[in-house]
Chain A
Amino acid sequence: DTGVSQDPRHKITKRGQNVTFRCDPISEHNRLYWYRQTLGQGPEFLTYFQNEAQLEKSRLLSDRFSAERPKGSFSTLEIQRTEQGDSAMYLCASSLNGYEQYFGPGTRLTVT
């Protein structure tokens, strides 16, 4: 099965530390999306890429957040100077030409 994969699955960090998450999309998919989900809520859009170009960023993506997709393959999401409010599930999805989005298992971040 070559679905969307994310690494790590769980991350516990202390406030003020930097963290980086990785997402590997389905191989032929040219679109990659990042969402954030807090407990009891639906996922909220953060940003998306078409190949290596970052085309849209939500206002939720503060300047402490940065995402990259070098060479249009895997993507990384970095959070600098983490805060307790960053604790959430970070979900990655991919699609072919913006059609159906397929999600990965997510990375659960806990900031202590």
Chain B
Amino acid sequence: KQEVTQIPAALSVPEGENLVLNCSFTDSAIYNLQWFRQDPGKGLTSLLLIQSSQREQTSGRLNASLDKSSGRSTLYIAASQPGDSATYLCAAQNFGNEKLTFGTGTRLTIIP
């Protein structure tokens, strides 16, 4: 059974700093891993998807990496801005199974 963990649960960072969010998973037989952003009381916005054959994906100031052997993914945010404040969730999809298994998220606060 896949289990996904995100530590820390909350993180506060001054504006302009680069930061890394962590995601770990127990079953390395993943098909892909997605990173999402969730604003309070809202739905999920897909940020990046990394397929199992890929090592990383980039979109603007965001870079996500995947290391299946160690069961880890990271989301790197460059030059953080107050608008980046949100909860960031990672989710793993295993081969042969379409459901996403989510972590509990990291609540990020960027301090102006």
Number of interface residues of A (CB under 8 A): 28
Interface size class, chain B: 20 to 34
Asked, given contacts A33-B98, A42-B4, whether A101 binds B46 with beta carbons under 8 Å apart, the answer is yes
Of the listed stretches A14-22, A70-78, A104-112, chain B binds: A104-112
A65 to B68, CA, bound (A): 36
Q: Given A42-B102, A98-B98, list of 12 further CB < 8 A pairs? A: A4-B43, A6-B43, A43-B89, A43-B91, A45-B100, A55-B98, A99-B32, A99-B49, A100-B46, A103-B45, A106-B42, A108-B41
Residues of B near any A CB (own CB < 8 A): 4, 32, 34, 36, 41-46, 49, 89, 91, 97-105
Residue numbers of A with Cβ under 8 A of B are: 4, 6, 31, 33, 35, 40-45, 48, 55-56, 58, 91, 93, 95, 98-106, 108
